[in-house]
């Protein structure tokens, strides 16, 4: 079958789909919703990985918790003396560094001794890092004012370094990145974790870091940037479970400090004994809910629990990331684009050249493999691969290719339907299109049944009437016959003048093709009887028909030229069907079927064996049958036409010509128009007078085609 020219444009469409999908994938990544999808993918990788093993035990947290807010005499905000005692107790406990995520901006004018106590404690400790902040005042046109909030003057005189505690949230409100530095009026300010790291590795680290380039270089540590001045925090695990956390009140609770309730047990003394803070980096900050310093992080929703992380813990995670050097960094953008292009190409080619179900499965596997690879390189190499951009590209490619496939297939189906709607029923056309088995040029071998129908003495009818009348009569007849063929899911092969050739079981195969052909033949005769009555009522001559049916294996398909489509069938089995149609003239019957057809349909039809013949062009003899009905026959017809005829035929085969003759004449007394009985009467008389040779095999040669 000749392919539609639009199918040759598949490569062009594939290229267009690939280019368009790559462009749209890149374009849509700028939208916040798409960016959020990529961020959630990163979060899912954290959750799949779970907590980092082994845990970082070098960092602990002292948290201002509910116990601290309720168990201390002074209420929040706490006086400087509390923090001074905290520093002294932690130094006494052997803390390596004390990092405050608490901002001491204001000087206590009423009780300056409070600030002096804290300042003195910091001076004596030499290992305290304080907190500051850069604040931004926003207006109608964005940031209008900036200001630096440093620790108060008394604390700065202690000589302690300080770091900013500014945080940067992504578009979805989650904290994933950490500032590496902030600039204000030409000055560079480093965040708390960076200042803590500088303190911990001094004096090997220079005062200033190298901030230019793709990496933030701090001594021997090279921190990959996510953007101009941030890194990605490699969170060690969920909130409240990653770092050992102790109550602020418990660390104040030494032998010389009294809590307000009866829970005073001098907890610090136990920590001193246990060495809890020995050589530890201690972060101090708010962990109580009511102090409003909780952040959304990748582990916010983990194992069915939804827990926000205290701000002080995010700084601890950032410092742990820097100290261990297990940074998370973006993959080379060039690789992202290569992955995008490869996946889009595979998706486009799959959906255009493969069946939709197979293509959908392959694309699903592509997406699954993309995610597996992305997670693998995140887990083992700390690399973030852009999953969203290839996903969008593949989806665009899939949808575009699917639309193209649907449109082209619809056009193809319309074309096929336009071709075949004149040859077969709509049901068969739909089944053929749904199955996807369309006729191909050159044809294929197929088991089927062929039906030939021809009008008897149509030439005489044509000569008697005007051409217009003949054409109208023929058109009415052919139209109603074709309706019956289509009703039984047959295929109209062709008209040859007044002859009809129909196929059953092709191009769409069904196992009961022989039965359907027989039903069609019987219905055609019934319809013809109605047409004959109509013609008689109009005082017009009417015609009769003969039908031949055979079942077998034949070559069916487009057996025309490559330029002109001609769906037909050829083979000896087809020729036999035509010979049977002609043989009706000899036996004066109307429907003759072959032994093949009879064997396939005998349970659904009523037919009698007529003869054992050899037709022109086919040397092998075969039995032929007359199809009488598909419904039970009247008793007399059943007795004489079926049973008596079968007995007479058996007598004929046994060379008992006289007995056979009596049986055939008995039939003719009641059915004088029975053609086969009349024919065999003549044969019996001939054989009585001129017996055949003793080796006669009972085969009758049909001389005419």
Q: In this model, does residue 622 exceed pLDDT 60?
A: yes
Kind and range of the H or E run holding 207: none
Residue 426 is assigned to a structural domain of this protein: no
Is the distance from CB of 286 to CB of 64 less than 8 angstroms? Answer: yes
Residue-wise pLDDT tens digits, 462-508 = 888 888 888 888 889 999 999 999 899 888 888 887 899 999 988 77
Q: In this model, does residue 412 exceed pLDDT 90?
A: no
Identify whether residues 347 and 456 lie together within a single domain.
no
Ranges assigned E (strand) in 107-220:
128-139, 142-149, 162-164, 177-179, 182-184, 187-189, 215-218
**What is d(CA 180, CA 95) in angstroms, rounded to the nearest whole number?**
25
Residue 251 is assigned to a structural domain of this protein: yes
Residue 80 is assigned to a structural domain of this protein: yes
Identify whether residues 249 and 398 lie together within a single domain.
no
What are the beta bridge partners of residue 540?
none
Residue-wise pLDDT tens digits, 46-83 = 999 999 999 999 999 999 999 999 888 888 889 888 99
**What is d(CA 280, CA 196) in angstroms, rounded to the nearest whole number?**
12
Residue bearing the bigger pLDDT, 28 or 307: 307
Q: Supply the pLDDT for residue 3.
A: 45
Give the three-state DSSP class for 672. coil
Q: What is the largest CA-CA distance in the chain?
A: 152
Q: In this model, does residue 5 exceed pLDDT 50?
A: no
The two beta strands, 182-184 and 491-496, are: unpaired
603's CB contacts (< 8 A; 6+ apart) are none
Identify whether residues 483 and 585 lie together within a single domain.
yes
Q: Give me the mean pLDDT over the 139-151 stretch.
A: 73
**What is d(CA 593, CA 549) in angstroms, rounded to the nearest whole number?**
5
Identify whether residues 650 and 610 lie together within a single domain.
no
Q: Give me the mean pLDDT over the 432-452 stretch.
A: 72
Residue 184 is assigned to a structural domain of this protein: yes
Helix axes 426-435 and 388-420, enclosed angle (nearest 10): 150
Residue bearing the bigger pLDDT, 104 or 414: 104
Residue bearing the bigger pLDDT, 442 or 219: 219
Q: In this model, does residue 659 exceed pLDDT 90?
A: yes
Q: Give me the mean pLDDT over the 388-396 stretch.
A: 91
Q: In this model, does residue 440 exceed pLDDT 60?
A: no
Identify whether residues 585 and 613 lie together within a single domain.
yes
Domain total in the chain: 4
Helix axes 388-420 and 356-381, enclosed angle (nearest 10): 170
Q: Supply the pLDDT for residue 105.
A: 82
For residues 184-220, b (16+ Cβ closer than 10 Å) or e, as one string?
A: eeeeebbbbbbbbbbbbeeeebeeebebeeebbebee
Residue-wise pLDDT tens digits, 534-585 = 888 888 888 889 999 999 998 887 766 555 566 778 888 988 999 999 999 9
Residue 429 is assigned to a structural domain of this protein: no
Q: What are the two backbone dihedrals, phi and then psi, of residue 455, each rounded to the nearest 5 degrees?
A: -80, 135
Highest mean pLDDT among 138-142, 165-169, 208-212: 165-169
Q: Supply the pLDDT for residue 338.
A: 93
Identify whether residues 616 and 470 lie together within a single domain.
yes
Q: Supply the pLDDT for residue 416.
A: 64
Is the distance from CB of 173 to CB of 203 less than 8 angstroms? Answer: no
**What is d(CA 611, CA 586) in angstroms, rounded to the nearest whole number?**
11
Q: 701 pLDDT band (50/70/90 cuts)?
A: confident
Tokens of 67: 């116990």
**What is d(CA 531, CA 534) in angstroms, rounded to the nearest whole number?**
5
**What is d(CA 657, CA 654) in angstroms, rounded to the nearest whole number?**
8
Domain boundary among 594, 613, 631: 631
Q: In this model, does residue 640 exceed pLDDT 60?
A: yes
Q: Give me the mean pLDDT over the 24-44 stretch.
A: 88
Residue 428 is assigned to a structural domain of this protein: no
**What is d(CA 145, CA 455) in angstroms, rounded to the nearest whole number?**
102
Helices (H), 98-146: 112-125
Domain boundary among 416, 449, 476: 416
Q: In this model, does residue 261 exceed pLDDT 80?
A: no
Q: In this model, does residue 433 exceed pLDDT 90?
A: no
Q: What percent of the chain has pLDDT over 90?
A: 57
Identify whether residues 196 and 144 lie together within a single domain.
yes
Q: What are the two backbone dihedrals, phi and then psi, of residue 46, each rounded to the nearest 5 degrees?
A: -60, -45
Q: What percent of the chain has pLDDT over 70?
A: 89
Highest mean pLDDT among 25-34, 137-146, 552-561, 591-600: 591-600
Residue-wise pLDDT tens digits, 81-136 = 899 999 999 999 999 999 999 998 876 544 666 667 888 999 999 999 999 999 87
Domain boundary among 324, 357, 374: 324
Identify whether residues 316 and 400 lie together within a single domain.
no
Kind and range of the H or E run holding 294: strand 294-295
Kind and range of the H or E run holding 663: helix 657-670
Q: 428 pLDDT band (50/70/90 cuts)?
A: low
575's CB contacts (< 8 A; 6+ apart) are 617, 618
Residue 423 is assigned to a structural domain of this protein: no
Residue 594 is assigned to a structural domain of this protein: yes
Q: 160 pLDDT band (50/70/90 cuts)?
A: very high
Q: In this model, does residue 365 exceed pLDDT 90?
A: yes
Q: Give me the mean pLDDT over the 453-468 stretch.
A: 85
Identify whether residues 159 and 183 lie together within a single domain.
yes
Identify whether residues 564 and 700 lie together within a single domain.
no
Instruction: Kindly calculate the radius of gyration of the chain based on its CA atoms and give it in whole angstroms.
Output: 49
**What residue numbers bound the domain in which 312 lies?**
53-324
Q: In this model, does residue 661 exceed pLDDT 90?
A: yes
Q: 326 pLDDT band (50/70/90 cuts)?
A: very high
Q: In this model, does residue 682 exceed pLDDT 90?
A: yes
Q: In this model, does residue 591 exceed pLDDT 90?
A: yes
Angle (nearest 5°) at CA 591 between 586 and 592? 65
Q: Supply the pLDDT for residue 325.
A: 93
**What is d(CA 534, CA 70) in angstroms, rounded to the nearest whole number?**
109
Output the domain CATH number for residue 539: 3.30.70.1230
Give the three-state DSSP class for 113. helix
Q: In this model, does residue 163 exceed pLDDT 90?
A: yes
Identify whether residues 453 and 442 lie together within a single domain.
yes
**What is d(CA 66, CA 268) in angstroms, rounded to the nearest whole number?**
18
Q: Supply the pLDDT for residue 520.
A: 96
Q: In this model, does residue 372 exceed pLDDT 80?
A: yes
User: Which range, of 9-13, 154-158, 174-178, 183-187, averages the lowest pLDDT?
Assistant: 9-13
Residue-wise pLDDT tens digits, 529-547 = 999 898 888 888 888 899 9
60 phi-psi bin (left φ>0, alpha ψ -120 to 50, beta other): beta
Q: 264 pLDDT band (50/70/90 cuts)?
A: low
Question: Shortest CA distance to 266 belongs to which of 251, 249, 258, 254?
Answer: 254
Q: Give me the mean pLDDT over the 265-281 stretch.
A: 88
Identify whether residues 518 and 581 lie together within a single domain.
yes
Residue bearing the bigger pLDDT, 3 or 242: 242
Question: Shortest CA distance to 222 belongs to which of 186, 187, 197, 189?
Answer: 197
Residue bearing the bigger pLDDT, 368 or 410: 368
Question: Shortest CA distance to 182 belongs to which of 159, 170, 164, 194?
Answer: 164
């Amino acid at each position: 079958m000749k392919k539609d020219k639009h199918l040759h444009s598949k490569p062009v469409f594939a290229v267009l789909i690939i280019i368009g999908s790559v462009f749209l994938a890149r374009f849509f990544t700028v939208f916040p919703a798409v960016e959020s999808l990529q961020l959630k993918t990163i979060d899912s990788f954290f959750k799949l990985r779970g907590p980092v093993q082994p845990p970082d035990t070098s960092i602990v947290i002292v948290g201002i918790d509910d116990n601290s807010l309720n168990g201390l005499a002074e209420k929040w905000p706490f006086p400087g003396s509390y923090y001074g005692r905290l520093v002294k107790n932690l130094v006494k406990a052997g803390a390596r560094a004390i990092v405050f995520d608490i901002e001491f901006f204001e000087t206590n004018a009423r009780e300056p001794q409070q600030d002096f106590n804290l300042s003195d404690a910091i001076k004596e400790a030499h290992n305290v890092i304080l907190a500051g902040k850069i604040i931004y005042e926003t207006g109608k046109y964005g940031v209008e004012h900036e200001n630096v909030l440093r620790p108060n003057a008394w604390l700065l005189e202690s000589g302690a370094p300080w770091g900013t505690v500014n945080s940067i949230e992504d578009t979805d409100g989650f904290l994933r990145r950490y500032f590496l530095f902030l600039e204000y009026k030409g000055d560079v300010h480093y965040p708390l974790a960076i200042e803590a790291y500088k303190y911990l590795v001094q004096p090997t680290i220079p005062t200033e870091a190298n901030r230019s380039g793709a990496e933030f270089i701090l001594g021997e540590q090279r921190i990959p940037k996510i953007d101009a001045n941030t890194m990605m925090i490699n969170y060690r695990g969920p909130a409240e479970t990653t770092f050992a956390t102790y109550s602020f009140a418990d660390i104040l609770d030494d032998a010389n400090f009294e809590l307000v309730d009866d829970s005073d047990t001098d907890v610090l003394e136990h920590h001193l004994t246990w060495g809890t803070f020995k050589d530890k980096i201690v972060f101090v900050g708010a962990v109580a809910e009511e102090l409003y310093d909780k952040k959304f992080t990748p582990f916010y929703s983990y194992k069915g629990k939804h827990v926000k992380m205290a701000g002080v813990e995010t700084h601890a995670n950032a410092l742990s990331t820097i100290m261990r050097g297990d940074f998370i960094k973006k993959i080379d953008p060039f690789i992202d684009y290569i992955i995008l292009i490869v996946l889009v190409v595979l998706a486009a080619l799959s959906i255009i050249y493969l069946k939709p179900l197979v293509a959908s499965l392959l694309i699903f596997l592509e997406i699954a493999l993309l995610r597996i690879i992305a997670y693998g390189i995140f887990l083992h190499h700390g690399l973030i691969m852009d999953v969203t951009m290839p996903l969008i590209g593949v989806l665009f490619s899939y949808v575009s290719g699917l639309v193209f496939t649907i449109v082209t297939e619809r056009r193809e189906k319309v074309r096929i339907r336009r071709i075949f709607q004149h040859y077969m029923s709509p049901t068969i056309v739909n089944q053929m299109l749904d199955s996807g088995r369309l006729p191909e040029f050159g044809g294929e071998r197929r088991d089927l049944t062929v039906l030939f129908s021809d009008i008897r003495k149509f030439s005489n009818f044509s000569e008697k009437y005007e051409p217009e009348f003949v054409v109208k009569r023929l058109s009415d007849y052919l139209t109603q016959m074709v309706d019956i063929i289509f009703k039984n899911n047959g295929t109209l092969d062709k008209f040859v003048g007044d002859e009809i050739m129909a196929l059953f079981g092709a191009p769409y195969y069904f196992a009961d093709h022989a039965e359907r052909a027989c039903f069609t033949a019987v219905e055609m005769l019934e319809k013809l009887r109605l047409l004959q009555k109509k013609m008689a009522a109009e005082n017009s001559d009417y015609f009769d028909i003969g039908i031949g049916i055979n079942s077998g294996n034949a070559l069916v398909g487009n057996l025309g030229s490559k330029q002109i489509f001609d769906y037909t069938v050829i083979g000896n089995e087809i020729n036999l069907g035509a010979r049977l149609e002609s043989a009706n003239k000899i036996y004066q019957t109307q429907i003759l079927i072959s032994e093949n057809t009879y064997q396939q349909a005998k349970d659904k039809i009523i037919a009698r064996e007529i003869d054992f013949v050899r037709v022109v062009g086919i040397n092998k003899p075969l039995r032929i049958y007359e199809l009488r009905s598909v419904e039970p026959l009247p008793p007399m017809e059943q007795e004489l036409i079926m049973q008596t005829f079968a007995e007479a035929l058996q007598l004929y085969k046994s060379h008992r010509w006289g007995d056979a003759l009596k049986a055939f004449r008995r039939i003719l007394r009641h059915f004088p128009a029975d053609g086969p009985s009349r024919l065999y009467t003549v044969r019996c008389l001939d054989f009585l007078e001129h017996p055949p040779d003793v080796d006669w095999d009972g085969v009758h040669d049909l001389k005419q085609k």
